[in-house]
């Protein structure tokens, strides 16, 4: 891959940060997008100092129409790649009309607009990686709206993969437990993979132009079983 600019959405998440490190190490420029400005600037300075690449930050609230971001994605003076890690994680137990609106706006509405804008930008090549979740495989009592929002984007991307040109590469990463602040200290997390290893798997998948992969890999087997369980058994699991 020649030098390109990776636009990282949700850049303050640890997986996105580690992915940004890999992209910077390979000499790519970076635009970090998120809503915590001081943390974004801290991460950007860190990457610039470590890898001597251009790394800028953009503070945006994903619930608002991100015009500024759309302009960046549409820009024609350079080629950019897109890493989508931003997400709202609200559990079903914490939903109210406000929370539902927020989750769907961030996870579905704004994500779809960004993907659409990016893939329609005039570039010779497109690389897009979307961080999905194993929660998208089957609706779970705990977080089915979150899982559903991930599934919506996955289905949208599957269609785009079908119609994609040879220069458009779309990768979906279905992640199991990764050692992030969302899983730290949560009961039932039996094995959480390191964010560094997860970012490496993403980087590798982008280069191998994979359409979809599970990380950690064993979740492919686990989800194959879980999604095929007869409902009367699935209902008893309820976790």
Binding residues for other proteins (CB under 8 A): 12, 14, 36, 39, 42-43, 45-46, 49-51, 181, 184-186
Closest approach of other proteins to the CB of residue 34, in Å:
12
3-class SS shares of the chain: helix, strand, coil, % to 5: 50, 20, 35
Look at the alpha carbons of 110, 4, 193, 184 in this order and tell me if their dihedral is positive or negative.
negative
CA distance 127 to 105: 23
Least distance between other proteins and beta carbon 70 (Å)? 28
Nearer to other proteins, 51 or 83 (CB): 51
Single out the residue of 94, 78, 66, 63 nearest to residue 30, CA to CA. 78
CB nearer to other proteins: pick between 12 and 132: 12
Minimum distance of other proteins from residue 42's CB (angstroms): 5
Q: Which residues contact 143 (CB under 8 A, 6 or more apart)?
A: 89, 90, 91, 92, 135
Residue 51 or 118 having the CB closest to other proteins:
51
Rounded to a whole number of angstroms, the minimum distance from the CB of residue 47 to other proteins is 9
Task: Kindly tell me which of 21 and 127 has the beta carbon lying closer to other proteins.
Answer: 21
- Residue 7 CB, shortest distance to other proteins, in Å, is 21
Q: Do residues 47 and 20 touch, judged by C-beta distance below 8 A? A: yes
Q: What is the CA radius of gyration of the chain?
A: 18
- When the beta carbons of 159 and 185 are compared against other proteins, the nearer one is 185
């Amino acid at each position: 891959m020649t030098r390109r600019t990776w636009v990282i959405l949700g850049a303050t998440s640890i997986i996105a940060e580690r992915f940004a490190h890999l992209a910077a190490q390979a000499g790519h420029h970076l635009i970090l997008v998120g809503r915590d400005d001081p943390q974004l600037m801290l991460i950007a300075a860190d990457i610039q100092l470590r890898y001597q690449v251009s790394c800028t930050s953009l503070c945006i609230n994903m619930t608002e129409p991100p015009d500024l971001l759309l302009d960046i994605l549409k820009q024609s003076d350079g080629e950019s790649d897109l890493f989508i890690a931003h997400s709202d994680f609200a559990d079903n137990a914490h939903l109210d009309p406000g929370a539902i609106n927020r989750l769907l706006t961030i996870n579905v509405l704004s994500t779809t607009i960004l993907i659409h804008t990016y893939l329609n930008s005039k570039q010779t090549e497109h690389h897009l990686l979307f961080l999905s979740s194993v929660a998208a495989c089957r609706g779970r009592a705990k977080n089915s709206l979150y899982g559903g929002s991930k599934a919506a984007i996955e289905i949208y991307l599957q269609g785009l993969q079908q119609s994609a040109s040879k220069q458009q590469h779309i990768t979906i990463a279905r992640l199991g437990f990764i050692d992030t602040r969302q899983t730290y200290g949560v009961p039932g997390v039996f094995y959480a993979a390191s964010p560094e290893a997860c970012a490496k798997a993403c980087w590798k998948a982008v280069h191998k132009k994979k359409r979809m992969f599970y990380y950690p890999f064993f979740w492919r087997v686990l989800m194959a079983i879980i999604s095929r369980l007869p409902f009367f058994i699935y209902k008893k699991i309820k976790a």
